[in-house]
Amino acid sequence: MSDFDLSDFPFAGVGLEYHAPASWLAGYQGADPTIERIIDSRFEFLDYLEFQPSHTIYEPRLLCLSAQMPILLHSSSLSLGSVGIAMDSEFLNLTHRLLKQTQSPWLAEHISWTRFLGGDTQHFVLPTLTPAVAETIVANAHEIRRVTDIPLILENIPRTVALKLSGDLAEGEFISNVVERGKCGFLLDLDSAIITARMQGYDLTQYLRSLPLHRLVEIHSAHPARDWEILSPLLTSFPVKAVTLEWDQTAAASDISLRQMVRVIKAHCADKPLYWHGCAIEASNTTAAARADERIQLSRATSFNISEQSLIIHEHSQDLTLSFPLRFLMPLLHFAQPRTMASALLLPGMLNESEITENLVFLQSLLRAGVLLPSTAMPEREQSAERGKIWGHWSAAWDFYCATRTHIDTPYVSVADLDGKLAQKVIQSQRQPSAFKDYWVHPFYPLPNPLTPAPRADPHQGLLEILQDRVTCRCFQNAPINTEQLSALLYYTWGASSIEENDMGDYFVKKTAPSGGSLHCAEVYPVIMDVPGFAPGIYHYSVRRHGLELISREDPRSWISQACGDQAWIEHAAVVFVSTARLERMAWKYEFSRAWRIVQMDIGHLSQTFSLMATMLGLGCCTTGALRDELFEQKLGLDYRDEPIFLVNGAGLAATS
């Protein structure tokens, strides 16, 4: 940000400060009566409302108000003067968000500190005026300006406690120093100045003169009538852009005097146009026709199918399906990236005389339908090429995440509508993909009945103890587990607790873990190294039959470590369970990429159930995501487009170290 420049501070007028009542902040007791009053009366004679970011945490209706009246933001929680303690970055982020949301023309913060190592005073203090405190305030002021990119003004506090150290600057000098070096404006809190002068024995006029009044942007006053003799010359002699009244808003009776006071103050301010005029918060209009030079792109919720003759475009957020001749595919793909309308006209054939009208109609109809959007209508972060530290190395994940992120106005279909659509699919012979995967012709080995009491390691161990005891084991004995344990692990994690026939032509399966749409697309493949009664090899768990179907007798110990990212210790487990997902089960119902997230979560739920079961059985267990997918696909014989690999869980006897 540039240096301090008074012209960066527009004229804001006369406003009111919202004060959340202390009693209300201390313990929520229903709606805050103060804000009720503000919402009711609107105080239309005021130019703005000022509030603190922290109050929006308690009173979210402040944010609703910000859509209706101009807002100035005034922070009290960044503790600029805390030497050796970084500002709370989460709070700074919140402040930054609110600044953008409210369009506040500047931010105010106090010249003080509240945070110390181990606590918070909950009250502004500035007991010493040492160079170290000044340096800290200046550095933090620069940081706030850097993060928010809007002007900052610093406010004096009531100094009731002052320890006079030898290196201390005089107070006026200290405040001027930090305001100037911080490249900030000054906010004079008149009541605080009066209290400070009284408590510290200063002459009030001298004290005021020592403050950086040439940068006086805002004044806070709780008693403007009482202090009028001081206030009025400040208004006329200095570049004041805002006067904020600290008024008791709970008492409706005092509205008339508030209104009169505002009128008097305004009469003293030069007659300037208010910043807020023309600054109304704009409703976004994503379907506006694009200018020829405006960059537009396909909405994130668009997908398309190609049939022999037609291009079928689906805009999922509006549940819209459009059909066009196939020749429009090229202009459609052109807008996968943000591009101008003019650039589309340069595509081969677009300006052919016989087709130009149709081509333009095609593009305009996509714009009108919201299939093409001005790229400025895309959420800000998604437009940003700067992905920040985290996403910088995760570019594919970023694309997926952004493409599947939902927005405040994302429409969701009702359960009834969705069921109706599924019923239609069934009528059109697209019946529900089978809830079961079966290897009917492979050798089948039934597992022991899992409903006999599970072989618990410790009958006194309850759920809470099991939760506490679960831990990753990476050191297994080369020892077997028995078939009862294998049966219990499979059944209580991946097995069916119940199976219900449905009218979609298939079944709904219930398991101990929840599943998106109850579609349970997970499958599991036990890779057995050491379970008496079972030859080492790869098996598939049949949910329908509660047994194992043999896929291969190749000894897994020859390849399992390599498949698990060269983690050699995994060979000593008795079994590893490879989790995959039959995507068609989910894709049949959810025709959008976000469903992929649900699949991953389903796999995660099952994995935790597995770990708890293994712990209850007294077995060591592990989870590993470091896998060579392709090697597993080959060994299991899977096509990753139908059934990708997700995760491996291992079980065996833990070695005592």
Contacts with ligand FMN by CB under 6 A lie at 471-472, 474, 567, 623-626
**Number of neighbouring beta carbons within 10 Å of residue 300:** 21
**Cβ distance to ligand FMN smaller for residue 117 or 463:** 463
**Cβ distance to ligand FMN smaller for residue 177 or 567:** 567
Start-to-end CA distance of the chain, whole Å, equals 59
* Residue 346 Cβ vs ligand FMN, minimum distance, rounded to whole Å: 48
Tokens 């396909």 -> residue: 298
**Cβ distance to ligand FMN smaller for residue 317 or 624:** 624
* Residue 517 Cβ vs ligand FMN, minimum distance, rounded to whole Å: 22
* Residue 567 Cβ vs ligand FMN, minimum distance, rounded to whole Å: 6
List, in order, residues 6 or more apart from 319 with CB less than 8 Å away. Answer: 411, 413
**Cβ distance to ligand FMN smaller for residue 139 or 631:** 631
Helix axes 131-148, 89-102, angle to 10 degrees: 50
Q: Are 193 and 208 in contact (CB under 8 A)?
A: yes
With CA atoms as reference, report the closest residue to 302 among 281, 324, 273, 283. Answer: 324
Cα distance between residue 497 and residue 492, in whole Å: 8
* Residue 404 Cβ vs ligand FMN, minimum distance, rounded to whole Å: 19
Cα distance between residue 539 and residue 528, in whole Å: 8
**Cβ distance to ligand FMN smaller for residue 340 or 624:** 624
Q: Are 59 and 97 in contact (CB under 8 A)?
A: no
List, in order, residues 6 or more apart from 597 with CB less than 8 Å away. Answer: 404
With CA atoms as reference, report the closest residue to 320 among 402, 405, 401, 411. Answer: 411
Q: Are 165 and 128 in contact (CB under 8 A)?
A: yes
**Cβ distance to ligand FMN smaller for residue 449 or 600:** 600
**Cβ distance to ligand FMN smaller for residue 128 or 567:** 567
**Cβ distance to ligand FMN smaller for residue 473 or 551:** 473
List, in order, residues 6 or more apart from 83 with CB less than 8 Å away. Answer: 113, 132, 133, 136
Per-residue three-class SS string for 234-290:
HHHHCCCCEEEECCCCCCHHHHHHHHHHHHHHHHHCCCCCCCCCCCCCCCCCCCCCC
**Cβ distance to ligand FMN smaller for residue 405 or 474:** 474
Q: Are 654 and 647 in contact (CB under 8 A)?
A: no
Element (H, E) at 468: helix 463-469
* Residue 628 Cβ vs ligand FMN, minimum distance, rounded to whole Å: 11
* Residue 626 Cβ vs ligand FMN, minimum distance, rounded to whole Å: 3
**Cβ distance to ligand FMN smaller for residue 349 or 625:** 625
**Cβ distance to ligand FMN smaller for residue 320 or 601:** 601
* Residue 582 Cβ vs ligand FMN, minimum distance, rounded to whole Å: 20
The beta strands (E) that lie in 403-536 are given as 444-446, 498-501, 507-510, 522-528
Length of the chain: 657
* Residue 160 Cβ vs ligand FMN, minimum distance, rounded to whole Å: 50
Concatenated DSSP letters for 82-119? Answer: -TT----HHHHHHHHHHHHHHT-S-EEEESSEEEETTE
* Residue 496 Cβ vs ligand FMN, minimum distance, rounded to whole Å: 24
Rounded to the nearest angstrom, the gap between the alpha carbon of residue 325 and the centroid of all alpha carbons in its chain is 40
Rounded to the nearest angstrom, the gap between the alpha carbon of residue 122 and the centroid of all alpha carbons in its chain is 29
The beta strands (E) that lie in 2-160 are given as 13-17, 48-51, 71-74, 107-110, 113-116, 119-125, 152-155
**Number of neighbouring beta carbons within 10 Å of residue 378:** 18
* Residue 611 Cβ vs ligand FMN, minimum distance, rounded to whole Å: 8
With CA atoms as reference, report the closest residue to 1 among 98, 99, 142, 109. Answer: 142
**Cβ distance to ligand FMN smaller for residue 160 or 624:** 624
Tokens 């970011």 -> residue: 53
* Residue 613 Cβ vs ligand FMN, minimum distance, rounded to whole Å: 15
Handedness of CA 227, 228, 233, 234 (dihedral sign): positive
- What is the three-class DSSP state of 554? coil
* Residue 607 Cβ vs ligand FMN, minimum distance, rounded to whole Å: 7
* Residue 380 Cβ vs ligand FMN, minimum distance, rounded to whole Å: 31
* Residue 514 Cβ vs ligand FMN, minimum distance, rounded to whole Å: 18
**Cβ distance to ligand FMN smaller for residue 11 or 632:** 632
* Residue 614 Cβ vs ligand FMN, minimum distance, rounded to whole Å: 12
Q: Are 422 and 589 in contact (CB under 8 A)?
A: yes
**Cβ distance to ligand FMN smaller for residue 514 or 625:** 625
**Cβ distance to ligand FMN smaller for residue 138 or 599:** 599
Cα distance between residue 290 and residue 380, in whole Å: 18
